[in-house]
Amino acid sequence: MQNGVVITGFGCLTASGVDAAATWEAVLSGESGIREAATWDSSGWPWPLAGEIKDYSPRDLVSDRKLLKFITRQDVIGLNAVTQAVTHSGIIEHRDELADPTSFNDRTGVFVGSPATKHRYQHDFLPPLADSAGDSREFGVRAMEDVHPMWLLRTLPNNVLAYVGIQYGFKGANANITAHGVSGSQAIAEACRYLRDGAIDQAIVVGYDSASELEALPYYASVGLLSSRGLRPFDRSRDGTVLGEGAGALVLETQDAAERRGAKIYGGVLGSSVVAEAAGVLSVREGGEGVSRAIRLALEDSEMRPDEIGMISAHANGSRVSDAGEAQAFTEIFGASSIPVTGFKWSLAHTIAASGAIESILALLCLANGRVPGIANLEELSPECRGVSVSASEQKPRSSVGIVVSRAFAGLNSCIVLSSHV
């Protein structure tokens, strides 16, 4: 791998598991973390399902209790995944052994796929808004009295980016990317560009979100994206997605930097792409043009041929248009072949900004273990998705290289090319 980017650590927190190993085992076992929502009263709602972190305890997830006053639930989840990945990589122990860690800190970047703020964090303003009876001056007075003075700091979209740098002293290149469902994938792509260009030697990448909030449901439902029955990718009966929460984090390094410190290398990022369909603010185009273009550009970036790809981790969000478009793109590029196709949202729910990062970790585990988990709730493949080798049963990857596809509002598509060998 010339100017290669390698993976030396990872961690995740999902509705299906407290870490990468537990999430992986849940997916292999056909277990889903999707349940009736527990963080809000789902009774009477047509969309009662969510993929929520089980037994959520912020004090158990973030060691700095003072910090909990300044961050939100989604920030806690993101920071926990970073802690897992950094611990897994051993880079802090390496840095602490250096005579002068200044250069190491200066050349360690942080790249974040952020969900921005949520409707639930506007609740502080509702009582003064109601009490002011439309008088803006009165609202201002009441808001100053009632709204917590730390409200703004708690809801900043770059909190995870900031606190990762503060906690570990990393001062290198950084970016906070808010691009809906491709946020985590684009954070990986951005970090790889900096690493390949020699601007940094190592990067912490994290995608995180807590999308399963009551206030968002009517908006997602109004554009036809939600299911009341469950998330069933590629199935004839699929009717929409289910929102969830989670985070995935990776430690990426140049191959030279990783080898110099004797790091264990778990795989590599061979290439990436992010494209737009220019179709509208919300919708994705029918057909697979955007997905096809993202895959072709990522293959070009990685100097790989379609026949060298061993598996596909699809976006697979359970919506009729998106799943059919992906299937069309896969058959267009790879043919009606035996290349295994899977997805993970049936187990984790759609974690939006976190999905690309979490699913890249799971795809890497597929390649490393030679196992492509089935989509456990797949009963009958949709006619729109024929020609794609997707199954309820486990398959084997054809090689040690795979791709991860993510999609988002505004017709955004991304593709990450991963390998379990470097």
Q: Residue 33 maps to which CATH number?
A: 3.40.47.10
Q: Are residues 135 and 258 in the same domain?
A: no
Q: Are residues 32 and 49 in the same domain?
A: yes
Q: Are residues 294 and 235 in the same domain?
A: yes
What digits encode the pLDDT tens for the residues 157-205? 999 999 999 999 999 999 999 999 999 999 999 999 999 999 999 999 9
- Give the position of tokens 């703004």: 152
What digits encode the pLDDT tens for the residues 49-105? 999 999 999 999 999 989 998 999 999 999 999 999 999 999 999 999 999 999 999
Provide the domain count of the chain: 2
* Structural domain of 223: 5-117+155-419
What values do phi and psi take at 46, rounded to 5? -75, -10
Q: Are residues 13 and 81 in the same domain?
A: yes
Q: Are residues 87 and 146 in the same domain?
A: no
Q: Are residues 132 and 173 in the same domain?
A: no
Of the three residues 133, 152, 171, the one that is the final residue of a domain is 152
Predicted TM-score of the model (pTM): 0.96
Q: Are residues 319 and 409 in the same domain?
A: yes
Q: Are residues 364 and 305 in the same domain?
A: yes
The answer to whether 345 and 240 are in contact (CB under 8 A) is no
DSSP E strands: which ranges in 321-419?
340-342, 389-390, 401-408, 412-419
Mean pLDDT of 299-328: 96
Query: What is the average pLDDT value for the chain, to the nearest integer?
Result: 94
Q: Are residues 112 and 124 in the same domain?
A: no
Q: Are residues 281 and 377 in the same domain?
A: yes
Q: Are residues 35 and 126 in the same domain?
A: no
Q: Are residues 387 and 261 in the same domain?
A: yes
pLDDT band per the 50, 70, 90 thresholds, residue 136: very high
Show Cβ contacts of residue 189 under 8 Å, excluding neighbours closer than 6 positions.
272, 273, 274, 414, 416
**From 190-194, 215-219, 303-307, 412-416, the region with the lowest mean pLDDT:** 215-219
Rg of the chain (C-alpha set): 21
Of the three residues 152, 172, 199, the one that is the final residue of a domain is 152
Which run of H or E residues covers position 206? Answer: strand 202-210
Of the three residues 152, 176, 196, the one that is the final residue of a domain is 152
